[in-house]
A = this chain, B = another copy of it.
Amino acid sequence: MSDIAAYIRQAAENAKAAFYELAAADTRSKNAALLHMAEGLLQQQDAILAANAEDMAAAREKNLDAPMLDRLLLTEKTVQGMAEGLRQIAALPDPVGEMDEFRTQPSGIQLGKMRMPLGVIGIIYESRPNVTIDAAALCLKSGNACLLRGGSEAIRSNKAIAAVIYAGLRAAGLPEHAVHLITETDRAGVGAMLQLPELIDVIIPRGGKGLVARISAEARVPVIKHLDGVCHVYVDSDADADMALKIAFNAKTGRYGACNSMETLLVHQDRAAELLPRFQAAYAEKEVELRGCARTQALLGEAVVPATEEDWSAEYLGPVLAVKVVADMDEAIAHINHYGSHHTDSIVTADYARAQQFLRRVDSASVMVNASTRFADGFEYGLGAEIGISTDKIHVRGPVGLQGLTSQKWVVFGHGEVRV
């Protein structure tokens, strides 16, 4: 075994042992650790910012691009935000031990489902130091041990933050190995994590589509993943015009880089002539490029770029929008299920039956009526915080909060029953 593989295995073994303690830890101790960490971040703010300044200097020397530098940068305000995030997670109800579906069977046994942590969670992420604290806090509160493998460019910042995390665990009497920052940032370490199903219970990759796809393809450990956000708004024949405009505008232009932003607008053919020019005028103010189907082009003229087959499944993450006129809701739903990424899709309609049908038949993690796709978010859903947004079908769909980091085991209360 290579040194790095041995290091990862040892870290995972320690985390597994810590998990068994943490799974039984009381809520009070977990919250105390989170509040200690919040205090620690503020007290160690200078040290954290100094470490981050070194990371930033090294990153500039390596000519990292502006968005990467932006994600790497910590400021007083972001550190305070991290501390506030910890306090919010401490204030959330503890999902561990919750009981559900309690019932008595004819045999006499009583049973129900008890919510429990998953075990050891491996988080693989890019050079975003804030993920270090968010991921540690969500895993801790949900009773999971975690291995944090952040991008190498953030290693100094991550180490400074990890020191605060470890101190918080110690202060609350929780096992120190409950959170482990992988400090060997050799790429082989990621590969080693993916090959330990007996020690690591789930891997959550956070990053670009390429990274996530590669990890999913290689992993022998189950993966909870976010691939991409090709989100749609469908404007139905019975849509309120102003509402449709407001939602379509917000869903595209609210924040271009967000995974819950709209990438394709679908408009019912009966409303296209009336609405598309209004949409076009609104998007023009924000210099959003439109790529349209033939009917869209016929209505809006040469300012609209012809959409190619690739446009229907493109995640632009920028001021570009694909536009398609559809014959009816059936075509819209078929388009979304075929070209979309099963992330978030919304219908604008005043029709009750079609609203119900759309909610049922669109196979996405979030399906909406008369709301902007931008609402697909842990905070907006009331989950308090999220470790990511799942585009998977099993285990958890959409924003992954504390509950998504747990599953349910069966507990049986007997009175000496045996099976005949």
Is A67 an interface residue when CB atoms closer than 8 A count as contact? no
Q: Mark A372-392, 1 if CB is under 8 A from B, else 0.
A: 101111001110000000001
Complex Cα distance A216/B195, Å? Answer: 12
Is A332 an interface residue when CB atoms closer than 8 A count as contact? no
> Would you call A369 and B410 a contact (CB within 8 A)?
no
Q: Which residues of B contact A409 (CB under 8 A)?
A: 363-367, 397-398
Q: Interface majority SS on A: helix, strand, loop or mixed? A: mixed
Is A10 an interface residue when CB atoms closer than 8 A count as contact? no
Q: Which residues of B contact A367 (CB under 8 A)?
A: 114, 409-412
State whether A361 and B419 are in contact (beta carbons under 8 Å apart), knowing that A369-B412, A394-B201, A410-B366 are contacts in the complex: no
Q: Which residues of B contact A416 (CB under 8 A)?
A: 240, 243, 246-247, 370-371
Binds B, one of A83-91, A123-131, A170-178, A217-225: A217-225
Partner-B contacts on A (CB < 8 A): 20, 23-24, 97, 103, 105, 107, 109, 111, 114, 116, 118-119, 197, 201-202, 216-217, 220, 222, 224, 240, 243, 246-247, 249-251, 254, 334, 337, 346, 357, 359-361, 363-372, 374-377, 380-382, 392-399, 407-419
Complex Cα distance A372/B380, Å? Answer: 45
Q: Report A27 CB to chain B, min CB distance, Å.
A: 12
Partner of A411, one of B103, B359, B411: B359
Complex Cα distance A360/B419, Å? Answer: 24
Q: Report A63 CB to chain B, min CB distance, Å.
A: 35
**Which residue, A216, A243, A395, A419, has most C-beta atoms of chain B within 10 A?**
A419
**Which residue, A105, A114, A411, has most C-beta atoms of chain B within 10 A?**
A411
Chain A to chain B: the 4 pairs with minimum beta-carbon distance, closest first: A371-B414, A250-B418, A374-B419, A368-B412
State whether A20 and B337 are in contact (beta carbons under 8 Å apart), knowing that A366-B410, A411-B368 are contacts in the complex: yes
> Would you call A201 and B375 a contact (CB within 8 A)?
no
Q: Which residues of B contact A368 (CB under 8 A)?
A: 109, 411-414
Q: Which residues of B contact A202 (CB under 8 A)?
A: 393-394
8 pairs of residues in contact across A and B, judged by CB atoms under 8 Å: A222-B392, A246-B418, A247-B418, A346-B412, A359-B411, A371-B413, A371-B417, A376-B412
Q: Which residue of chain B lies nearest to A337 when distances are taken between CB atoms in the complex? A: B20
Q: Which residues of B contact A382 (CB under 8 A)?
A: 103, 105
> Would you call B392 and A397 a contact (CB within 8 A)?
no
> Would you call B412 and A395 a contact (CB within 8 A)?
no
Q: Report A352 CB to chain B, min CB distance, Å.
A: 11
Complex Cα distance A368/B334, Å? Answer: 46
> Would you call A116 and B418 a contact (CB within 8 A)?
no
> Would you call A375 and B417 a contact (CB within 8 A)?
yes
Q: Which residues of B contact A372 (CB under 8 A)?
A: 414, 417-419
Q: Which residue of chain B lies nearest to A348 when distances are taken between CB atoms in the complex? A: B416
> Would you call A375 and B107 a contact (CB within 8 A)?
yes
**Which residue, A107, A217, A396, has most C-beta atoms of chain B within 10 A?**
A107
> Would you call A396 and B407 a contact (CB within 8 A)?
yes
Complex Cα distance A369/B415, Å? Answer: 8
